[in-house]
Amino acid sequence: MILPRAFYARPTVEVARGLLGKWIVHGETAGRIVEVEAYLGQDDAAAHSAAGMTARTRVIFGPPGHAYVYLSYGMHECLNIVAEAEGVAGCVLIRALEPVAGVAEMRERRAAAKSDRELASGPGRLTRALGITRAHYGADLTQGVLTVREPPRPDAFAIDVSRRIGISKAAELPLRFTIRGSKFISRG
């Protein structure tokens, strides 16, 4: 089942925690979300939307359940999912996936990966493995070829909470959520 828009129309932290264990599906490839970070809009100095709406961030202020894809460090495309009610900024960065379908295709796209763990253990790696690009900016994740779904067989897991990583502003906030014990998270 594809997640409905109502799933995303909630506070960003709730959406972030709720995304763990769900599957991102793009074409024949899919990955189980094992690591995310919440970005809380205009009150969060690390959020792209902190400075208000710009051409780059307009999708973050739009309806929830859309993709915010941007280029990081001039080389890595990163996938965020818009949360909150329309007009309220908030999004969730997808940091790592456990490959679950289309692994051979992921290996072709990520030939440098030495193991399945390295295929999607990082925001730039996972977009490359799944074939997600800035062309997916604004994509409606509730329909189409790029969706987020309930897994076929949900499983129970514990969630670890830590500070966000790879940022300099507001890094101390405990807004990084991981599936405890997953070997597929980006770093410990």
DSSP 44-103: -TTSGGGG---TTTGGGGS-SSBEEEEEETTTEEEEEEE-SSTTS--EEEEEEEEEEE-H
132: left (phi over 0), alpha (psi -120 to 50) or beta: beta
Whether the predicted pLDDT of 74 surpasses 70: no
What per-residue confidence (pLDDT) applies to 47? 82
What per-residue confidence (pLDDT) applies to 108? 96
- Domains, the chain, ranges and CATH? 5-179 (3.10.300.10)
What per-residue confidence (pLDDT) applies to 154? 86
DSSP 120-156: SSSHHHHHHHHT--GGGTT-BTTSSSEEEE--SS---
Give mean pLDDT, residues 103-114. 95
Give the residue, 72 or 144, on which the prediction is more confident: 144
Give the whole-angstrom CA distance, residue 62 versus residue 82: 8
What per-residue confidence (pLDDT) applies to 59? 94
CB atoms within 10 A of CB 80: 23
What per-residue confidence (pLDDT) applies to 73? 67
Model confidence over 130-188: pLDDT tens digits? 999 999 999 999 999 999 999 999 899 999 999 988 877 877 889 999 999 999 999 75
Give the residue, 68 or 50, on which the prediction is more confident: 68
Model confidence over 2-58: pLDDT tens digits? 999 999 999 999 999 999 999 999 999 999 999 999 999 888 877 888 888 888 889
What per-residue confidence (pLDDT) applies to 126? 95
Q: Look up residue 122 and give its two tokens.
A: 């990082």
Q: Which of 70-74, 118-122, 165-169, 171-175 has the highest average model confidence (pLDDT)?
A: 118-122
